[in-house]
């Protein structure tokens, strides 16, 4: 058991059947009245952020969120299969669990899989990925206006905006959190 007075940033605990993670905390000792712990916490599974005050002696069960690296193997309809690098087991994950940023993942990429009590609730792709541009309009020589972009289709089928000098066959680096083009890869 952990008490509210033990709260630190990043601590995960179970409250009302939900897994919560402390984002911010503050021990408050007013001049009058009892001390309390003001806490900003995030529901690990839904992502909802709430602020609550607790009595410092309030007790909670610690929650152990397991995070493992798994390699994306293939998809079959609405199921996406990930291979555990240690046991070589294939784990099916439903499409509803995958985030919007999964559109930048191709086969054999390693993703971070988060689970609680064996139930997978999040799949985080690498922060930066290198993908090949399969389709885009050719850039025009001399068209060097700043921040002008054009649509480009990547090898995963995702369409993003890229600078005019990018051509089909170029490998580019993308930030999966924002879906933005970062740079053209060398070689």
Which residues, 6+ apart, have CB-to-CB distance to 151 below 8 Å?
A: 136, 137, 159, 160, 161, 162
Burial 65-94 (b: 16+ CB within 10 A, else e): eeeeebbbeeeeeeebbbbeeeeeeebebe
Q: What digits encode the pLDDT tens for the residues 93-125? A: 988 888 888 899 999 999 999 888 888 888 889
pLDDT of amino acid 69: 92
Mean pLDDT (the chain, rounded): 88
- The DSSP 8-state label assigned to residue 157 in this structure reads S
Entry pTM: 0.72
Give the whole-angstrom CA distance, residue 3 versus residue 169.
56
Domains of the chain, start order: 2-62 (2.30.30.30), 65-124 (2.40.50.140), 128-184 (2.40.50.140)
- Ranges in the chain, pLDDT < 70: 139-146, 187
């Amino acid at each position: 058991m952990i008490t509210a007075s033990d709260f630190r940033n990043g601590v995960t605990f179970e409250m009302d059947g939900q897994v919560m993670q402390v984002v911010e905390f503050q021990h408050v000792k007013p001049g009058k009245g009892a001390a309390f712990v003001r806490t900003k916490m995030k529901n690990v599974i839904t992502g909802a952020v709430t602020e609550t005050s607790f009595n410092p002696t309030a007790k909670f069960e610690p929650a152990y969120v397991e995070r493992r690296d798994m390699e994306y193997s293939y998809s079959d309809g609405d199921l996406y299969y990930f291979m555990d690098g240690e046991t070589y087991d294939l784990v099916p994950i439903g499409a509803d669990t995958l985030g919007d940023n999964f559109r930048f993942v191709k086969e054999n990429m390693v993703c971070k899989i988060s689970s609680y009590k064996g139930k997978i609730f999040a799949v985080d792709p690498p922060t930066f990925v290198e993908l090949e541009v399969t389709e885009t309009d050719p850039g025009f020589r001399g068209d060097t206006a700043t921040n002008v972009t054009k649509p480009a289709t990547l090898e995963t089928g995702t369409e993003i905006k890229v600078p005019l000098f990018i051509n089909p066959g170029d490998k580019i680096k993308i930030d999966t959190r924002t879906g933005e083009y970062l740079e053209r890869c060398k070689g």
